[in-house]
Structure 1
Amino acid sequence: MALEVAKHIKSRFGHLFEDVCRFIIRPDRAAYTIDDLGPSLFRLGEGLPAKYKRTDLDLVNMRGMTIKCSWFEPYETPTTPIPCVVYLHGNCGCRWDGLEILWLLKHGFTLFVYDACGSGHSDGEFVSLGFYERQDLATVIEYLHTQSARVRSIGLWGRSMGAVTSIMYASKDDQSIQCLIGDSPFSSLKALSKDLVEQHGSWVPNSVVSAVVKRIRKRVSKMAGFDIYDLDCTKYARHCDVPAFLFHGENDTFVRPLHSLAVESVYRGSCLHKIVAGDHNSKRGNDVMETAVAFLKLYLIDKMEAVEHARAQRKQKASDQDDQKRRKQLDHADEDEAAASDEGSSNAASPTTTTITDGVTSTNDDDVTSTGASTDAHGELDGDDDEDEDEALDRLTRATMLSQEGGNRALTDNNENNKDISSSGARKGKSTLKKS
């Protein structure tokens, strides 16, 4: 009997590893067609005169992967550049999800959406919940900065994985974007993995949860080439000065509101946080959207006008100072020539040549991404590097059975979903993984 129980527990651990790892690096890939994005020429509502267009384009990230993108803009080219909002989808999403904020066009913004690599129609086998996705975002931002005739300012709007990606990117390059909006970011992938183990494996004893997370960490590193412990959004938030608006569904049981509250509590820059109605995947209410529009207008339009005005004043002041400097130099040169002439020297005074150069500040940009898993910051990925997964399953099984014996309780097929064998207390029912 004990042998059968051990086999059953070991099998359940194997399924738990598979489920959590699949959520992190290979959830169900969003399927859609280009037709699902709507017509390339359209109006927002019947009877409205304004026309808009969608332009589909491909970009290539630093890993040589193709990113499928779409840009929604006014049909008639504006006479001046206008602000652009970049939408970043969740781990099970795609650029089609960005259509939920297409109404931003009516407020004077353009909308840029794309499939992160590993999602939708873009290249890539795995997602990484932000680790590699920030490379894709860096490629998009770099492209938009080449479109200065069309783009006045840039804001980010990310959901779950996209929100974390936005914060990670903004912490390294706060000059290329003006603001960000984050819907339901998680505080760290380590904490989220622990939550997933507890939700999806309610039968796992508390004493074993950390060991399970370590095995998940090792498997993800081997399959997708990154360390889940490196995805700590709070660490990046501590260095982020880009103004942020974060919100979270009050009934979100997948990524709990405590995650985004933890991010907000350490955010270095200006950060507005709201708990809103709904769960992780709910459509957000009008109150949230009204706040978002006001936030975007403040930082992408109003403050940009103030910045541009101040910049023009500084430029004019510098120009006036340069003119004064040149006049003084000419006056000094005239005085020198006059003095030389009065002396009647046989050797003519050499004219003074002064080179005036504008100060140029060279900035060495921080690398916003890493191309592989880092082990230096955390040491070894696991204390049992020589232990294969089957041995690890045996070890976790023994620990679980010892926990059972300590509580004088045995797992059976009839009560495995409603009894908790944890020595530290019962935890409730098994949750299914939901889309981010």
Structure 2
Amino acid sequence: MKKKRWLKWSLISVVILIVIGVFGATLYMYQYAFVPGQKSFLNNGKPSKFYRDNQKWLAKANKVKWYQKSATDDLKLDAIYVPAAKKTTKTIVVAHGYMGYKEDMARYIHLYHDLGYNVLAPDDRGSGESEGDYIGYGWPDRLDYVKWIKQVIAKNGQDSQIALFGVSMGGATVMYTAGEKLPKQVKAVIEDCGYSSISGELAYQLNDLFGLPKFPLFYTTNLMARVRAGYNFSEGDATKSLAKSKLPIMLIHGAKDKFVPTKMVYENYKAANAPKQLWVVPDAGHGEALAKQPTAYRNKVAKFLDQYWEK
């Protein structure tokens, strides 16, 4: 009898320890992946001259602040609007990457400004000067971008023409946004190195950084994200959004991307159910396409957009 009782309490103790361990690991993973802050796994080396030069350009550029409330959670969101040098109805809305902020997009803002467009660059929830204590990976943010689009139309007029552009997490954000019901003024989407799903990216990182399988932390972390951040990250699937979207899309990815694996761009391209163009850039890592091939990048995005602007 004593042996059975000892075995029973031993099993209970083991189960309790496992539960405590999984809960602690889940808290760690949520803090690691979903709470804004400095991330050790990101490359925070010295910024390149290309990056610094564009930051200096943006600091001096003519720009104004825009604000709005988030579509959910009542957060104040911040953006900068850089008007074109010559008045135009064409605006590019740009979405930044993971742990980035609007000023990080300076090189892309500069590019589209030089092409003659207005540019709106928001800070996502929990990023830059926007309120929020979680990273949305583009999924809740997609609804905020619908509101930013409507603000562009309200301020610039019903004859506005708008294209969406994003890099990394921002690439996923604009693909998610493309799957929503959008005003007719939105004409096209360009995404650069966005993931095909939040689940796929997090599972890849869980294995790449920690050598861990999806079970159980992937699922327990999703549960915690639903409780603390208010969204189910397994719903964030760019392939499903692209299958619904009728917007022309250009997909760009580095052939040597190890952060968002290059295979994901092929998944997105296959899913896209509209006019589409794919450019995989040789020798480019994550988010390096513009820096590696600036002239080709400029020419390709300009040519793509010119096909879909109303003359």
- Equivalent pair of 1:85/1:109 in contact (CA under 8 Å): yes
Q: Which of 293, 302, 305 is the matching residue for 1:293? A: 302
Query: Do residues 212 (structure 1) and 217 (structure 2) align?
Result: yes
CA distance in 2, matches of 1:131, 1:40: 28
Tell me how far 1:226 sits from its aligned partner.
1.2
Q: Displacement, 1:262?
A: 0.6
Partner SS state of residue 299, structure 1: coil
- The correspondence of residues 365-380 of structure 1 with structure 2, limited to 5 A, is none
SS in 1 for 2:239: helix
Aligned partner of residue 247 in structure 1, secondary structure: strand
Match of 2:275 in 1: 270
2:73 matched to 1:67? no
Scaled by the length of structure 2, what TM-score is found? Answer: 0.79
Instruction: Return 5+ residue gaps in structure 1 as ranges.
Output: 1-5, 31-35, 43-51, 306-436
Matches for 1:321-360 after TM superposition, within 5 Å:
none
Amino acid at match of 2:238: C
Q: How does 1:38-117 map to 2 (within 5 A)?
A: 53-63=62-72, 64-74=74-84, 78=87, 81-101=88-108, 102-117=110-125
- The count of residues paired between Structure 1 and Structure 2 equals 276
Query: Which residue, out of 5, 23, 30, partners 1:21?
Result: 30
- Following superposition, the deviation at residue 238 of structure 1 comes to 0.9
Q: Secondary structure of the residue that 1:178 maps to in structure 2? A: strand
Within 5 Å, which residues of 2 pair with 1:227-266?
227-266=232-271
Shift of 1:14: 6.6
Deviation track 1:38-93 (CA, whole Å, cap 9, x = no partner) reads 68895xxxxxxxxx6211222223333211111111456x3xx4311111001211
CA distance in 2 between partners of 1:190 and 1:245 (Å): 23
Contact 1:16–1:197 under 8 Å retained in 2? no
Offset at residue 129 of structure 1 (A) = 0.5
- 1:10: how far off? 9.1
CA 1:15 to 1:214, structure 2 compared with 1: closer, same or farther past 3 Å? same
Distance verdict in 2 for CA 1:257–1:61, change over 3 Å:
same
Report 1 or 2 for greater relative contact order, CA contacts < 8 Å, sequence distance ≥ 6. 1
- Distance in 1 separating the partners of 2:135 and 2:83: 29
TM-score normalised to the size of structure 1?
0.57
Partner in structure 2 of residue 183 of structure 1: 192
Q: Quote how far apart the aligned CAs of 1:198 are.
A: 0.9
Q: Distance in 1 between matches of 2:266 and 2:128?
A: 30
Greater Cα radius of gyration, structure 1 or 2: 1
CA shift, 1:263, in A, is: 1.1
C-alpha distance in 2 between matches for 1:190 and 1:96:
27
Matches within 5 A, 1:298-313: 298-300=307-309, 304-305=310-311
Answering whether residue 204 of structure 2 is matched by residue 198 of structure 1, we say no
Query: Does the CA contact (< 8 Å) of 2:84 and 2:119 recur in 1?
Result: no
Mapped contact 1:16–1:200 kept (Cα < 8 A): no
Change (3 A) 1:162 1:149: same
- Cα distance between partner residues in 1 of 2:28 and 2:195: 19
CA contact (8 A) 1:82 1:108 kept: no
Q: Percent identity, please.
A: 17
Contact 2:85 2:116 in 1 (8 A): no
Change (3 A) 1:11 1:199: farther
Return the letter of the residue paired with 1:69: A
Deviations 1:414-433 (CA, angstroms, capped at 9, x unpaired): xxxxxxxxxxxxxxxxxxxx
For 2:199, give the aligned amino acid: K
Question: Aligned partners of 2:38, 2:150: CA distance in 1, in Å?
Answer: 26
Q: 2-side partners of 1:196 and 1:14: how far apart? A: 19
Q: Calculate the aligned-residue CA RMSD, in Å.
A: 2.9
Report if the CA contact (8 A) 1:41-1:54 is conserved.
Answer: no
Is the alpha carbon distance of 1:40 and 1:125 closer, same or farther for their aligned partners in structure 2, counting shifts above 3 Å? same
Matches within 5 A, 1:399-410: none
Q: Tell me by how many angstroms 1:29 deviates.
A: 6.3
Amino acid at match of 1:86: V
Give the direction of change, closer, same or farther, for the CA distance of 1:160–1:129 in structure 2 (3 Å limit). Answer: same
Deviations 1:366-408 (A, max 9, x none): xxxxxxxxxxxxxxxxxxxxxxxxxxxxxxxxxxxxxxxxxxx
Task: Tell me if the contact between 1:29 and 1:120 (Cα under 8 Å) persists in the aligned partners.
Answer: no
Shift of 1:37: 6.4
Following superposition, the deviation at residue 194 of structure 1 comes to 1.5
Q: Deviations over 1:282-324 (max 9, x none)?
A: 3522222321121122223xxx01xxxxxxxxxxxxxxxxxxx
Aligned residue type for 2:286: H
